[in-house]
Structure 1
Amino acid sequence: MSEESVFPQALLDELARDPAAPAVERGPRTTTRGELLDLVRRTTAALRDAGAGPGRGVALATGVTAEGLAAQVAAHVLGCRVVGVRPGVPAAHLPHVLADVDVLVVDAGTDAPALRGAAGAARVVVLERDLPADGDDPVPAGRPDDVALVVSTSGSTGVPKGAAFTYAALTGHWSWQPARWTDRTRALAAGYGRFLLFGTLASAVVFEHLALCLLTGGTAVVPEGPPDLPRDFGRLRATACLLTVPRLHRLLDTARPDDLTTLRVLLVAGSPLAPHRFAQAVEVLGDVVHHAYGQTELGVVSLLTAEDVRRHPGALASVGRPWDGVEVRVVDEDGADVPPGATGEVVVRTANAFLGYWRDPDRTAEVVRDGWVRTRDLGRLDEDGFLHLTGRARDVVIVNAVLHYVGPIEKVLVSHPDVDQAYVVGVPDERTGEAAHAFVVPRAGASPDGAALRALVAVELGPDAVPATVTTVAEVPIAPSGKPDKRALAALRPEAVRGV
């Protein structure tokens, strides 16, 4: 295998190297590496028969299964543009997500008329049912400049944005190209012998860290139902897991020592982790705790470890040092570097960064400039090279690791005939990382119904965008700048008034 082997050749080589070793374990079923490679062969043949090939769009609406993983690898072998469909996507978003796809892949037994309707004339391939008995050995056909993967954002702006990655980016991806791994990456990957995999294969983060497991001879261990943490750690002998900050909070409150003896890597990501919580996690769990900062468009940007904090106590309030192959700068409004310790916008450059937003040149131009990606996050770099985040250059709330722009939520609320003005603020929340709280000013003579407003948001933007509370106020406090004072609004939410 050469350093420049085309994605996903490194994975194919690794599966063939030890075909009897387990690759995916789900309940009583274990799929060996040889069996997974055979699924890739057969799914490649089925997709090719359906018209898939270089540059063609293949949408994957599958579960976290060996078949779903094989379908993604097979589509990449053919050089397709893979579009992952997250579970629970609002029906109103499906036509946007599935635009320009030629083939839709679904699990056996899936009855999804909304999916099929949104996919239009796309051919449908049903896993297991439509696979031939055999197929040729896979030979990656991805062209470097073709789009290989489109990862949808939450859709909180009204419709999901599609972060598009080329085959060149995936070929150069830090996690999918082991020939380029540094000692730091190899040390992290060594803990992924049994990677507890849940959520969705359409997640860029899951996809990124699945590589560390499969490329080091590890096994992806999939719970049969919703994850039961921390019980699943011990029951499934998991050595590595990705967690959102809220899940970490619950873990710290409920874990028993016996649940955690197998863990070697617990990577926490998705939203800021308070310094006292990181310290508590290290005290309870030990050096297995890692805090990652990243974005869908970039992958991992930086990583903080317990060892970092021991050597540099001031790093406790940071999100760590830039990851391997990642360049980080902090710039002013004109794009010029600010001095160490000064605050500015964090911009990032890496070989595996996204190309731009699929068929959205205006948004792409706002974010990608001269090869650097604007994170829209504010921060500073200290003298030891640790990155400290200080705020956001955009008005968003991150709920359960999913980013939601508040503007679209406010727009939906104010569309209700009883609402004159609407404002949404984000507040730290132990359960969800952050929570959105809405404040509405009623129209004359009206009495807005909070439950009806929350239901309206669910219909228009999906359940994850629904505010935790809706509070009616007679008027909105104004800041000295003349703008609505959202900090003052946050103090008016029901929990704050009650002193919770």
Structure 2
Amino acid sequence: VEDLLEHPDDGGPLRLSGRPHDVARLVHTSGSTGAPKACAQTYAAMDAAWAARPAAWPPAVRELASRLQRYLVFGSLASQVMVEYGILTLAAGGTMVVADKPVFPDAIVEHRASASVVTVPRLYRLVAAQRAAPADLSSLRALMVSGSPVEASRLHEAREVLGPVVFHGYGQTETGMISMATPSDVPPSVGFPPDVVDVEIRDPDGVPVPAGTDGELYVRTPSQAFGYWADPAETAEVFAGGWVRTRDLGHFDEEGRLYLVGRTRDVIIVNANLHYAGPIERALAACPDIAEAYVVGAPDEDTGEAVHAFVIPRAGRTPDFGALRTMVRERLGDGCVPATITVIDEVPSGPSGKPAKRLLIPGGPA
């Protein structure tokens, strides 16, 4: 910007000075796990993106594109997810619709939307709202769910209530889309990564692991960023050797489907043993009384850290804390059992709509 200001318009013809490997734009992450970071993307990376090029669409995206007649936008088009699906909509000949009050299901009904992006908590709430007081969602053909792993049972419930409309996507601001499951794919996978996307599952030493083994996902995509703007230390941590370290955990099955299980940094260390929050949250959410569950860690004098859970009950249900602890213990062991369980009405969220667990303060009912 300073260089532009130093060279005012001379009245001559415009000159194209951008080169393929120059920075074309900065796209900020959502900041759901910390301060937002500016991902630097080159002109070459933008040119390689698939969203605006129907000939490059992988099968899952091609199926999604056929349902994007009226794409309901919520949040900000500064979001990589929102703008990527927006470009896809326009390339497919659809229309982008912006709601003044993007509340589900009201906005879908009012604007006769055929598609929208939804976070996992919003999906759960929409399913609950439809069970309690069904709205006319006959126009809805696609809900693009992103942001978190989803239990297979919850995807089955969503299909039962909403119909075959859930596309479970996985991607990051740093990489763009990595994989997507269609409504007919095996839940809770996020489908098969396209041929142009490379995904490796690695152990803590960086060694690839076999199918069925959980590890950290490392990804290469044609349109990925090359680093974080003005943040060399974080860039060195995440971008290495052409790969992006996602800090997400997952595995492949024998047929090549990708499954997500949690975040590498979302951990609680109890008695020197590392426990990932994701499996604990899914164990709690498997209870019929629980609509949503979130887990954080906090210092503990006896165990170093302890697990603290926050749950949102289903309408008309009262969770049994003892039964919840037993369920977690039987599935995951004593170290994962919550020291406290707190009932909340809703989870705090950031501008992207994703849960902001860092705002949850342990110390509720035991």
Is 1:219 equivalent to 2:95 in the alignment? yes
Please provide the CA RMSD for this pair: 3.3
Aligned residue type for 2:122: R
Q: Give how far 1:183 is off.
A: 4.2
SS of 1:317's equivalent?
coil
2:153 aligned residue? 276
CA contact (8 A) 2:297 2:305 kept: no
Give the whole-Å Cα distance in 2 for the aligned partners of 1:379 and 1:148: 32
2:116 aligned residue? 241
Is 1:361 equivalent to 2:232 in the alignment? yes
Taking structure 1 as reference, are residues 291 and 364 closer, same or farther at Cα in structure 2, changes over 3 Å only?
same
Aligned residue type for 1:484: E
Give the whole-Å Cα distance in 1 for the aligned partners of 2:339 and 2:118: 29
Is 1:392 equivalent to 2:268 in the alignment? no
Larger radius of gyration between Structure 1 and Structure 2: 1
Of residues 272, 296, 305 in structure 2, which corresponds to 1:484? 305
Is 1:332 equivalent to 2:203 in the alignment? yes
Taking structure 1 as reference, are residues 320 and 156 closer, same or farther at Cα in structure 2, changes over 3 Å only?
closer
Superposition map of 1:137-156 within 5 A: 142-155=18-31
CA contact (8 A) 1:231 1:259 kept: no
Give the whole-Å Cα distance in 2 for the aligned partners of 1:232 and 1:484: 42
Taking structure 1 as reference, are residues 102 and 199 closer, same or farther at Cα in structure 2, changes over 3 Å only?
farther
CA contact (8 A) 1:303 1:320 kept: yes
State the aligned residue count.
297
Q: Give how far 1:367 is off.
A: 1.2
Q: Comparing both structures, which one devotes a greater share of its residues to helix? A: 1
SS of 2:305's equivalent?
coil
Of residues 228, 244, 250 in structure 1, which corresponds to 2:103? 228
Of residues 174, 178, 185 in structure 2, which corresponds to 1:308? 185
1:45 aligned residue? none
Aligned residue type for 2:158: A
Aligned residue type for 2:137: L
Is 1:163 equivalent to 2:39 in the alignment? yes
TM-score (normalizing by structure 1): 0.53
Give the whole-Å Cα distance in 1 for the aligned partners of 2:221 and 2:55: 17
2:61 aligned residue? 185
Q: Give how far 1:396 is off.
A: 7.0
Deviation per CA, 1:362-404: give whole Å up to 9, x if none.
211111222111111222111111112233221379xxxxxxx
CA contact (8 A) 1:185 1:324 kept: no
CA contact (8 A) 1:195 1:213 kept: yes
Q: Give how far 1:335 is off.
A: 2.5
Q: Give how far 1:355 is off.
A: 1.0
Of residues 138, 148, 165 in structure 2, which corresponds to 1:288? 165
SS of 2:159's equivalent?
helix
Aligned residue type for 1:299: G
Aligned residue type for 2:213: A
Structure 2's unaligned 5+ residue stretches are 9-13, 269-276, 308-334, 344-362
1:209 aligned residue? 85
1:175 aligned residue? 51
Give the whole-Å Cα distance in 2 for the aligned partners of 1:189 and 1:345: 30
Deviation per CA, 1:54-79: give whole Å up to 9, x if none.
xx4xxxxxxxxxxxxxxxxxxxxxxx
Give the whole-Å Cα distance in 2 for the aligned partners of 1:436 and 1:188: 33
Q: Give how far 1:180 is off.
A: 2.2
Aligned residue type for 2:124: H
Q: Give how far 1:267 is off.
A: 0.8
1:320 aligned residue? 191
CA contact (8 A) 1:267 1:292 kept: yes
Structure 1's unaligned 5+ residue stretches are 1-55, 57-99, 104-120, 124-137, 310-315, 398-424, 441-474
Deviation per CA, 1:99-134: give whole Å up to 9, x if none.
x8979xxxxxxxxxxxxxxxxx9x9xxxxxxxxxxx
1:250 aligned residue? 125
Taking structure 1 as reference, are residues 432 and 244 closer, same or farther at Cα in structure 2, changes over 3 Å only?
farther
Q: Give how far 1:317 is off.
A: 3.2
CA contact (8 A) 1:170 1:176 kept: no
CA contact (8 A) 2:140 2:165 kept: yes
Give the whole-Å Cα distance in 2 for the aligned partners of 1:140 and 1:491: 61
Taking structure 1 as reference, are residues 192 and 344 closer, same or farther at Cα in structure 2, changes over 3 Å only?
same
